[in-house]
Amino acid sequence: MSNNTFKYSFSLLHIDYVKLNHNWNYNSVISPYYRIYYIDDGAGFISDSSTPWALEPGYLYLIPSFTICNLSCDLYLSQYFIQFFEESPDGISLFNNNRKVIRLAATELDVDLIKKMLQNNPGRGINRSYNPKVYEKEAFYKEYLSLNNAMKTYLKFENQGILLQLISRFLSTKDFSTSQQQVTSSKISDTMSYIQLHLSENITVAQLAQRANQNQDYFSKQFLAHTGQRPLNYIHEKKIERAQYLIATSDKTFLEIALDTGFSNLPHFSKIFKQIVSLTPGEYRHQNSKPSI
């Protein structure tokens, strides 16, 4: 892990302890924030695009942002959950190459940290209306942002410390380490940062190759070798991740979001969104107007 690891910071959205039943049943959930679950009783199920997992007592589960997953409970499940946003200067996620569920056995310290965080942050559960006409997404996120801003300094540090400690546990797992790509070249790393900082523009592969002072075909092959994706696919993925965030956290129209993410028209934006998310923008907004844990 490079010295740039500590450019990442995390801000609390929700934390709570809940008891769930068969009504906890959500498919194709893709959220702009992270989730950590600690299961203390009962049983449930979670699956990402490749692996089904049983939710079992004594285990921690991490769902990185923008990871598609299905959540369900047949009878009874009780869990502690934490939801939080990731922030980094260049917008490149710590789990950029690892959009999948990771599971590990919880330690006594893990559980103590989660309970301590819950104790320090009362009233941070999910308290929203089931009625999309009543529930205003942007106002909801602004409310929790204001709570974070008003928090005492020592609690901000403690929340950040607990989140970093919990995340560090997942960084040490085989599931995380084996998913990492080879060391990225400086030009490809710079390109990835450039894309993230210019999502509102119409970025072309030719422009990126010119920035890197490379032949376009050679640049594309190098980008694929280091990231596992072709440049245009990567551009689209990052634009749509940004669009998902805007849909979930604002009341902007889809046309406004399309323009904000560098698409010249709504049909093209909707087509690429459906290709990547497997939902239309409207279906995604409807999904995110419903409460899920």
pTM of the full structure:
0.74
Scanning the chain, the segments in alpha helix (DSSP H) are 108-120, 137-150, 153-171, 174-177, 186-197, 205-211, 216-227, 231-249, 254-260, 266-277, 281-287
| 186-287: CATH number | 1.10.10.60
Residue 247 pLDDT? 87
Q: How many CB atoms lie within 10 A of CB 109?
A: 11
Residue 127 pLDDT? 64
pLDDT digits (tens, 9 = 90+) for 166-184: 999 998 877 665 444 444 5
Residue 9 pLDDT? 85
Residue ranges matching CATH 1.10.10.60 in the chain: 186-287
Q: Which of the residues in the chain have pLDDT under 50?
A: 1-2, 129-137, 178-183
CATH 2.60.120.10 correct for 3-177: yes
Residue 7 pLDDT? 76
Residue 139 pLDDT? 55
Q: How far apart are CA 293 and CA 36, in angstroms?
A: 10
Residue 93 pLDDT? 80
Residue ranges matching CATH 2.60.120.10 in the chain: 3-177
Backbone angles phi, psi at 121, to 5 degrees: -130, 65
